[in-house]
Copies of this chain bind each other. A is one copy, B any other.
Amino acid sequence: MSNSDKSVVSRLRKLIGEGAYQPGERLGEVAVSEQLGVSRTPVRLAFRTLEQEGLLQRAGKRGFMVREFTEADVLCAVEVRGVLEGLAARRLAEQGLSPALDAKLEVWIQKGRELLAKGYLEERDVDVWSELNRHFHETIVGSSGSPVIGDAIARNNHLPFAAADSIVIDSEALDREYRKLQLAQVQHELVVQALRHGEGARAEMLMREHAFIGLRYGELFGLGG
């Protein structure tokens, strides 16, 4: 995939994620190509990719439309990530944690501890957490013995609200986010503990529950969602 081609896909992905197009809106190839300043060809290619990612949908026989997502879809996507990451964790626990992998996980656990040690959250900490969180999840998923689980998760994560690093949204209320991250850190540590003891079922369930943190834990701290 050339630079431009990739950039058309990701630019469109970004535009859709930002809500630049109305859900259900039909996307014409010419309109989009003019908007992005390229010819129809890369747009046609991008549409096929985005269709597979689930962001676009066939609009009858005539082109594509922006897919709309309901509340239920969001919940489902998070649950899907939960069960898939849970599966990865269980397999990892069952096959046993190699010393190298153990050390690798410990790194991200340790970074999390350090980040939260000072007792509060700064603006720039958000990115640091997002990064270490991504690494933690990728390490577990990537070590499950086959790329198949990771691929399934990656495809699910194309739904913008489903990805694991969409936890922190509200950088205005850093004190509430701090408590959320504290809980996430505990969950990370418990997962590693379970993995070390070969507790497959426990690792799976912890990982599943962990998926909900970006979704329902707000209620715990007096938030809306």
Contacts and interface: CB of A to CB of B under 8 A. Distances in A.
The count of identical subunits is: 2
Chain B CB within 10 Å, residue with most, of A70, A75, A79, A86: A79
Interface string A148-162: 110110011001000
B1 A58 contact: yes
Nearest to A144: B76
A159 B148 contact: yes
B152 A80 contact: yes
A117 interface: no
Interface in A71-103: 72-73, 75-77, 79-80, 83-84, 86-87, 91
Contacts of A77: 148
A7 interface: no
A45 interface: yes
A91 B91 CA distance: 23
Chain B CB within 10 Å, residue with most, of A45, A49, A77, A146: A146
Contacts of A54: 148, 151
A24 interface: no
A56 to B, nearest CB: 12
Contact of A83 (B1, B48, B87, B159): B87
A137 interface: no
Interface of A: 1, 44-45, 48-49, 51-54, 58, 70, 72-73, 75-77, 79-80, 83-84, 86-87, 91, 144-149, 151-152, 155-156, 159
Given A70-B146, A80-B149, 9 more contacts: A44-B45, A49-B49, A73-B147, A73-B148, A76-B144, A83-B87, A84-B84, A148-B156, A155-B155
